[in-house]
A = this chain, B = another copy of it.
Amino acid sequence: MKFGIQINEGPYTHEASDTAYHFIKAALDNGHEIFRIFFYHDGVHNGTRLTAPPQDDRNIVNRWTELAEKHDLDLVVCVAAAQRRGIADADEAKRNGKDTDNIAPGFRISGLGQLIEAGIQSDRLLVFGD
């Protein structure tokens, strides 16, 4: 079965991102497919490469990057939500006149249509948020 996943909250602040991660791993382990993971609202903060969590804690951003690489997952950060919150890739940084970007490897920035599409194309949409 094909799952679409929406994540609404930032890493560490809220458990939503953790629960989504464990759900997705369990789904993949059981032979299911993940159509797309869409990061919306504060969820866009999952996609910054500037986090430096304490050594004795999980590294949520790296965990997404590694899972995406291993399973060829599509990690999409909403562009409108990202602009408001300061998440940018090289193109976005340039377009908005910023001197640097901060997106983490494995994530791409795109529009809200990608969320609608995830709902339509997946067998089930699950939302993890506050």
Contacts and interface: CB of A to CB of B under 8 A. Distances in A.
Interface string A42-76: 10010011111110000001000000000000000
Contacts of A11: 84-85
A91 B80 CA distance: 30
A54 B104 CA distance: 23
**How many copies of this protein are present in the complex?**
2
Interface in A10-61: 10-13, 41-42, 45, 48-54, 61
Interface residues of A, number: 29
A56 to B, nearest CB: 13
A10 B13 CA distance: 11
A100 B100 contact: yes
Interface in A75-103: 80, 83-88, 92-93, 96, 98, 100-102
A12 to B, nearest CB: 5
A11 B92 CA distance: 19
Interface of A: 10-13, 41-42, 45, 48-54, 61, 80, 83-88, 92-93, 96, 98, 100-102
9 contacts: A12-B84, A45-B86, A49-B86, A51-B86, A52-B86, A52-B92, A52-B98, A54-B80, A100-B101
